[in-house]
């Protein structure tokens, strides 16, 4: 029998293990050398990766520039806002949220969040948590209200947000900027970005440039001594000063809002320009919006972005073209009523005309057949096209506002030429009409419209840009200007039965102008609308006639009643206020002039003393609460008000009584009801004529106040009944 010689047999298995082990050692060594010598491992830069894990980086935010009016009153500014945070970790010692239920219950009504939702946030297993969304973008007042609760573990992160102290005020001029958050690998940064109006167009100038701070930190988050620190300071944005006069803007806003409440148009615009410089002094629109809450119905600015058929205001420029050519004779006559042009019948607006009348009267009566005859007798198609172009139509004006449209002044066939002569079949913008009127107000030279007065470096006040008065060469002769002013004066102030502009006449005022009524073309049905109010009513005016200071242009589309009545009332009210404010006709006015007053900060002052000071300056002071100290106010510090304006003083007293709101405007009543945070209902438009709660009634929880609004004459009648 053969036996196995175990002692002499080769042991191959351990030898294989040794070789495998040796290979693994070599692989590990090579990997170690690779990690030691190569800066990039698996496409990751190890040095940068390590630095990133140990590098603290902080954005140093630039402050967005402020927008001011022409008198340096603030229109748009960055202010501090606050985010509520809750510390949840006991590692902070005693400063963390211990009573979660009590904290949630206390905060819920203040930050307008559900109590259970706050509890879910407070129950998270994290070091700290933001109490959003309700706890974000809080005002200083809300922050103070929360601090007064003296809650453990509650703190605040200070941020910036854009704030518009006047609310709905020149909103399509200013536009808005809002805070946007950006998340990058869990790190949140923010920027305030302009998205409409000047805030959008001049976003880069206003925004400035952020800086940053960067250094190496240890595990505990402390800066490692003797390591490099990089600090690049932020460059704050520049400040923009507008040509807007806040008092004039306020007059326009008030006039437009009052008219819109009564006449309910599709849209309405009223703008005033300085006749000697081209500066826009104010421009109000309906509908509008509050840039703080961005309750926007339409994103286009009617001043520069609405193109529409202007109607008879274009007759001014057709007549001016004929007069300047030297062929016009206003004493010649024509047969009014109707005329055939290229197979189509042109009618006067009253369908029958005024018999045989002079061309001068044809302008005063706003006669369409006068335009047809002017184009047959004094000028031709080419003349009209050249004049309209020379007067600035069919092209942008270059005003410093975004999305300005050029309009369209294309016309070819005889009927199109005549229609263009009286403002149908072509498209213009409001700002083009303002610019063209400067030819008449400025002795035959056209002025470029401006909205920006200057731009300044916010750090040192250095002027970066300053607007210059840009005047064209002589476009029309002096005698042409004189003749046009004569025609426009008669249109407003004439006593003939056919005079069309008498609705804009103000006793003692030297106003000249031209009205317009344009049909509205519906692109969907490819025809003009034929409803009783399917028109755009407009007015182009200058005052005073002898030494023009102001140009006004207004338009209203499809009011629910009264045709052009709403625009007439709004325009005259605004011009009367402007005239008193600027003492344009001091010798003719016996009424009280308008005095302006810049509000100070009255926070922490004595309520009664502050009330006395404000009332001594002609202001209508509404005290909210029975406290002896003022804790808040509206309007805010730095806002310019005029005698008769309301100033709301919120006191530290908790007993709030219902005031007598009869005669208040809808805006004032709604503002007050929002301040006192009571449920309310507004019925009607115009001014308060009755209120559900009697004057002096103590405001209670769950109270609802119903307000009935109407015209001012209804208020008088209601008071007589009582």
Torsion of CA 105, 705, 682, 636, to 10 degrees: -60
CA distances (Å), origin 468, targets 175, 222, 232 = 24, 54, 36
| Domains 61-242 and 657-722 alike in fold | no
Q: Domain 595-655: which topology? A: Trypsin Inhibitor V; Chain A (3.30.10)
Q: Domain 246-582: which topology? A: Beta-lactamase (3.40.710)
- The distance of Cα 267 from the centroid of its chain, to the nearest Å, equals 15
- Tracing tokens 């307000």 back to the chain, one arrives at 707
- Boundaries of every domain in the chain: 17-53, 61-242, 246-582, 595-655, 657-722
Contact 651, 625 (CB under 8 A): yes
Q: Which residues of the chain have pLDDT under 50?
A: 1-4, 7-9, 11, 52, 587-592, 712-722
Active site residue 288: no
Q: Which of 81, 283, 305, 312 is catalytic?
A: 312
Q: Which residues contact 107 (CB under 8 A, 6 or more apart)?
A: 84, 113, 118, 131, 135, 146, 149, 151, 154
Q: Which residues contact 330 (CB under 8 A, 6 or more apart)?
A: 358, 359, 360, 363, 483, 487
Q: Which residues contact 550 (CB under 8 A, 6 or more apart)?
A: 272, 273, 274, 275, 281, 542, 543, 575, 578, 584
CA distances (Å), origin 720, targets 8, 205, 389, 638, 707 = 134, 58, 58, 40, 19
Q: Domain 61-242: which topology? A: Penicillin-binding protein 2a (Domain 2) (3.90.1310)
Q: Which of 372, 408, 374 is nearest to 388 (CA)?
A: 408
- pLDDT score at 47: 58
- pLDDT score at 46: 57
DSSP state of 314: G
DSSP track, 536-603: EEEEEEEE-SSS--EEEEEEEE--SSSTTHHHHHHHHHHHHHHHHHHTSSTTT--SPPP-EEE----T
Q: Which of 352, 336, 309, 283 is nearest to 69 (CA)?
A: 283
Contact 341, 366 (CB under 8 A): no
Q: d(Cα 169, Cα 183) in Å, to the nearest integer?
A: 33
Backbone angle region of 233, left / alpha / beta, with phi > 0 → left and psi within -120 to 50 → alpha: beta
Token code pair at residue 257: 């809002």
- The CATH class, in words, for 657-722 is alpha beta
Contact 153, 86 (CB under 8 A): yes
What is the CB neighbour count within 10 angstroms for residue 211? 15
- The distance of Cα 146 from the centroid of its chain, to the nearest Å, equals 32
- pLDDT score at 2: 46
- pLDDT score at 39: 64
Q: Which of 91, 480, 471 is nearest to 317 (CA)?
A: 480
């Amino acid at each position: 029998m053969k036996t196995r010689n175990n002692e002499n047999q080769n042991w191959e298995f351990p030898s294989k293990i040794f070789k495998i082990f040796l290979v693994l050692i070599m692989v590990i060594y090579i990997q170690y050398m690779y990690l030691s010598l190569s800066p990039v491992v698996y496409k990751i830069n190890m040095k940068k990766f390590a630095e990133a894990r140990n590098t603290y980086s902080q954005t140093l935010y630039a402050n967005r520039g402020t927008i001011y009016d022409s008198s340096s009153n603030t229109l748009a500014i960055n202010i501090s806002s606050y985010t509520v945070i809750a510390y949840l970790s006991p590692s902070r010692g005693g400063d963390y949220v211990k009573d979660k239920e009590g904290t949630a219950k206390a905060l819920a009504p203040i930050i307008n969040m559900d109590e259970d939702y706050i509890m879910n946030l407070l129950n998270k297993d994290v070091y700290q948590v933001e109490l959003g969304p309700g706890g974000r973008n809080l005002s200083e007042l809300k922050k103070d209200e929360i601090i007064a609760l003296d809650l453990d573990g509650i703190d605040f992160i200070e941020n910036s947000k854009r704030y518009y102290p006047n609310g709905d005020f020149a909103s399509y001029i200013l536009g808005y900027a809002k805070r946007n958050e950006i998340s990058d690998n869990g790190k949140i940064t923010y920027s305030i970005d302009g998205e409409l109006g000047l805030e959008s167009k001049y976003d880069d100038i206003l925004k400035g440039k952020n800086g940053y701070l960067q250094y190496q930190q240890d595990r505990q988050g402390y800066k490692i001594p003797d390591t490099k620190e990089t600090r690049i300071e932020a460059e704050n944005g520049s400040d923009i000063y507008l040509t807007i006069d806040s008092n004039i803007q306020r007059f326009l806003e008030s006039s437009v809002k009052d008219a819109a409440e009564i006449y309910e148009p599709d849209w309405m615009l009223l703008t005033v320009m300085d006749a000697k410089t081209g500066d826009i002094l104010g421009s109000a629109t309906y509908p509008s919006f509050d840039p703080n809450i961005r309750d926007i119905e339409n994103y286009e600015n009617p001043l520069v972005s609405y193109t529409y058929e202007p109607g008879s205001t274009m007759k001014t420029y057709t007549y001016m073209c004929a007069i300047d050519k030297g062929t016009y004779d206003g004493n010649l006559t024509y047969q009014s009523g109707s005329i055939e042009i290229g197979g189509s019948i042109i009618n006067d607006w009253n369908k029958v005309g005024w018999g045989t009348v002079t061309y001068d009267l044809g302008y005063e009566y706003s006669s369409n057949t006068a335009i047809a005859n002017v184009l047959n007798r004094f000028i031709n198609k080419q003349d009209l096209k050249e004049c309209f172009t020379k007067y600035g139509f069919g092209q942008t004006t270059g005003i410093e506002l975004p999305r300005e449209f050029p309009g369209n002044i294309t016309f070819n066939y005889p009927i199109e030429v005549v229609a263009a002569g009286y403002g149908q079949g072509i498209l213009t913008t409001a700002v083009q009409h303002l610019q063209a009127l400067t030819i008449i107000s400025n002795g035959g030279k056209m002025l470029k419209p401006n909205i920006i007065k200057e731009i300044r470096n916010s750090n040192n006040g250095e002027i970066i840009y300053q607007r210059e008065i840009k005047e064209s060469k002589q476009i029309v002769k002096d005698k042409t200007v004189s003749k046009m002013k004569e025609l426009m004066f008669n249109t407003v102030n004439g006593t003939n039965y056919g005079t069309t502009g008498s609705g804009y006449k103000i006793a003692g005022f030297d106003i000249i102008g031209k009205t317009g009524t344009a049909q509205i073309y519906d692109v969907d049905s490819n025809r003009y609308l034929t409803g009783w109010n399917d028109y755009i009513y407009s007015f182009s005016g200058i005052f005073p006639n002898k030494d023009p200071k102001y140009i006004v242009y207004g338009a209203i589309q499809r009011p629910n009643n009264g045709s052009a009545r709403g625009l007439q009332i709004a325009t005259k009210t605004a011009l009367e206020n402007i005239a008193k404010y600027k003492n344009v006709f001091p010798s003719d006015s016996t009424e009280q002039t308008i005095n302006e007053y810049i509000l100070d900060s009255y926070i922490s002052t004595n309520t009664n003393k502050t009330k006395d000071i404000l009332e001594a300056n002609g202001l209508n002071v509404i005290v909210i609460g029975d406290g002896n100290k003022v804790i808040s106010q509206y309007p805010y510090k730095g806002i310019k008000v005029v005698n008769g304006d309301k100033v709301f003083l919120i006191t530290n007293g908790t007993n709030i009584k219902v005031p007598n709101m009869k005669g208040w405007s809808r805006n004032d009543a709604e503002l007050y009801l929002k301040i006192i945070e009571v449920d309310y209902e507004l019925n009607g438009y115009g001014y308060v004529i009755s209120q559900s709660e009697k004057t002096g009634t103590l405001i209670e929880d769950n109270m609802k106040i119903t307000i009935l609004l109407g015209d001012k004459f209804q208020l008088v009648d209601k008071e007589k009944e009582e």
